[in-house]
Amino acid sequence: EIAGRYRNDGVPPVSADLTYYQPWIGKKKMGLSASIYNKTTYRFSSSVVGTSSSDSDAYEVRRGFSLGLSRPRNKKVSLQTSFRLDSIDTFSGKNESATALYQIDAERNSTVAAMGISHVVDTRDTIQDASRGQYVSLGSELGHTNLSGDFNDLGYGSEGRKGFFAKPAAEYRRFFALVPRKDFRSTTRVLAFRVKAGASSGPITFFDQYFVGGADSLRGFGEDRFWGKNMLLANLELRYPIPKTDAVQAVLFMDAGDAWGSELRGDPKRYADYLNWSTHDGDINGDGIKDPPPAPYSIYDAYEYRWPQHDKFKMHFGAGIGIRVKTPIGPIRLDYAGSKEGNRVHFSIAQMF
């Protein structure tokens, strides 16, 4: 199977990728996937509807290729390996173009070479919409990062860093059919649970950290709300089919989790000082005399100002209701969730897990 995608939004650059997938190769029935890509990914994007307005159009551009191999040990157990080589550019969108002189986008350009290995046990009855069974994944990614430094015209910035990193991670999913399923096409009442954990050591890029928040992790919070070198996440869902139809499910859910311990932290005061200076058009004291601009700030200062982070684990909770509608491309998911940071509506395709 060969697949490709292309998108041209003008700015940022064109997004395109080409993927080859072969599920069975040779007598051992190994799976092979290969991709080349030039992908633009928006970060900290807004939810469909929310009471929080602290959204950003920051984005990253990844250019590179990846290879993946999977070898089944039996029908339920497989060993998976992967390799990727990425060239990564990070941009801050409107913030960057409006205030380029006052920003320090340190470590914005980087290269990453990494190899991953994981052991997977999968006993689910179906992959898209499981009603019973479990999924277990234990693995790690090992690689080398070269983070480039960046200095602006005023000499503000930081040196680059490089070195080896490790990212071990684990995931466990469990599904209980409260009422037996008639066949794989039908729906039934299901209690579903997932827990994920991860850690990292060594230098990693900002967007290679763990992120928690949004439609696929911690609902009720903005996308990628919390980030860091460590992550813990748990999700619980009760999926209930609407009577007289197999196409619609109602869902009650609760999410809990956090990401913490980022080394790429900013100084929110630097960004606050710039906002104060910019809001008053340079005349902070109102005496008609232009004040000198404050020290340049980095995009990480702006992130820290908008979305405060932390060094130690701090559990965050979200809960709400949702609906799932079966379609030929998978379930359409619409969730309404509340948290201490407000209420949000999240839209996505496929079950969360």
Which pLDDT tens digit goes with each residue over 163-199? Answer: 999 999 999 999 999 998 887 777 899 999 999 999 9
Distance CA 257, CA 319 (A): 12
Token pair, residue 152, equals: 């602006």
Structural domain contains residue 66: yes
Distance CA 16, CA 199 (A): 30
pLDDT at residue 238, rounded to an integer: 98
pLDDT at residue 153, rounded to an integer: 47
Parallel/antiparallel/unpaired status of strands 133-147 and 109-122:
antiparallel
pLDDT for 195-204, tens place per residue? 999 999 999 8
Write the CB contacts of 16 (distance below 8 Å, at least 6 apart in sequence): 4, 5, 6, 7, 37, 38, 39
Q: For a pLDDT cut of 90, what percent of the chain falls above it?
A: 54
Most confident of 38-47, 276-285, 297-306: 276-285
Distance CA 308, CA 316 (A): 13
DSSP summary character for residue 201: B
Structural domain contains residue 124: yes
Torsion angle of the four alpha carbons 43, 128, 167, 227, in this order, in degrees rounded to the nearest 10: 30
* Pick from 22, 15, 146, 21: nearest CA to 87: 146
Residue 132 has pLDDT above 90, yes or no: yes
pLDDT at residue 80, rounded to an integer: 96
Residue 8 has pLDDT above 70, yes or no: no
- The residue ranking higher by pLDDT, 235 or 275, is 235
How many other CB atoms are there within 10 angstroms of residue 314's CB atom? 11
Q: Which helix (H) or strand (E) holds 270?
A: helix 268-279
DSSP summary character for residue 278: H
Structural domain contains residue 1: no
Most confident of 37-46, 145-154, 229-238, 246-255: 229-238
pLDDT at residue 55, rounded to an integer: 43
Question: Which stretch of 84-98, 279-293, 312-326 has the lowest confidence by average pLDDT?
Answer: 84-98
Q: How confident is the model at residue 149 (pLDDT cuts 50, 70, 90)?
A: low
Torsion angle of the four alpha carbons 198, 204, 207, 208, in this order, in degrees rounded to the nearest 10: -40
Write the CB contacts of 292 (distance below 8 Å, at least 6 apart in sequence): none
Q: Angle, to 10 degrees, between the axis of helix 268-279 and the axis of helix 299-306?
A: 90
Structural domain contains residue 25: no
Based on the structure, what is the number of domains in the chain?
Answer: 1
Distance CA 28, CA 33 (A): 16
Provide the domain limits for residue 228: 39-349
* Pick from 249, 242, 239, 219: nearest CA to 132: 239
pLDDT at residue 104, rounded to an integer: 44
Structural domain contains residue 3: no
Distance CA 335, CA 345 (A): 6
Residue 10 has pLDDT above 70, yes or no: no
pTM here?
0.83
Structural domain contains residue 63: yes
pLDDT at residue 168, rounded to an integer: 98
How does the average pLDDT of the chain come out, rounded? Answer: 85
pLDDT at residue 7, rounded to an integer: 59
Residues in the chain: 353
Mean pLDDT of all residues in 89-99: 53
Looking up residue 296, the CATH number of its domain turns out to be 2.40.160.50
The three-state secondary structure class of 251 is strand
Under 8 Å between Cβ of 333 and 192: no
- Burial of residue 243 (CB within 10 Å: 0-12, 13-18, 19+) is exposed
How many other CB atoms are there within 10 angstroms of residue 8's CB atom? 8
- The residue ranking higher by pLDDT, 134 or 302, is 134
pLDDT at residue 95, rounded to an integer: 44
Structural domain contains residue 7: no
Parallel/antiparallel/unpaired status of strands 297-298 and 103-104:
parallel
Question: Which stretch of 1-5, 320-324, 349-353 has the lowest confidence by average pLDDT?
Answer: 1-5
Distance CA 122, CA 175 (A): 12
Structural domain contains residue 17: no
Residue 1 has pLDDT above 50, yes or no: yes
Residue 52 has pLDDT above 60, yes or no: no
Distance CA 194, CA 172 (A): 6
Under 8 Å between Cβ of 220 and 204: no
Cis peptide before 294 (omega within 30 of 0): no
Distance CA 175, CA 254 (A): 15
